[in-house]
């Protein structure tokens, strides 16, 4: 018997292919800038992502606040070099 330590999967016989039969879901747009945390809560529920309150707050802040601050800093840096 083989055992994959990363996935904790046990294999009765060696694999002959990496084909899993899984269907790839299309990429979706999550409107965090427009809808905020509610958009993350919706996709979390739809896709079963398992985000808790910490994750939802973290990613909302990351996309609504941190990215805007990075853009402002980039513009300020650009202005200094001009």
Q: Where are the alpha helices (DSSP H) in the chain?
A: 32-35, 37-47, 53-61, 67-81
Cβ-contact 51, 40 below 8 angstroms: yes
Whether this model's pTM surpasses 0.75: no
Q: What angle do CA 52, 57, 63 make, to 5 degrees?
A: 125
Pair of tokens at residue 12: 């009765």
Q: Is residue 16 in some structural domain?
A: no
Residue 57, pLDDT score:
94
Count of structural domains within the chain = 1
pLDDT tens, 7-53?
777 778 877 888 878 888 888 889 988 899 999 999 999 999 999 99
Residue 68, pLDDT score:
66
Residue 82, pLDDT score:
40
* Residue ranges making up the domain that contains 40: 28-68
Q: Is residue 59 in some structural domain?
A: yes
Residue 44, pLDDT score:
95
């Amino acid at each position: 018997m083989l055992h994959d330590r990363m996935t904790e999967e046990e294999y009765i016989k060696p694999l002959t292919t990496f084909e899993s039969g899984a269907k790839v879901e299309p990429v979706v747009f999550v409107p965090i800038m427009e809808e905020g945390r509610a958009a993350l809560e919706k996709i979390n529920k739809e896709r079963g992502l398992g985000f808790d309150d910490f994750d939802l707050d973290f990613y909302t802040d990351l996309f609504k606040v941190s990215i805007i601050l990075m853009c402002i800093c980039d513009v300020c840096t650009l202005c200094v070099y001009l």
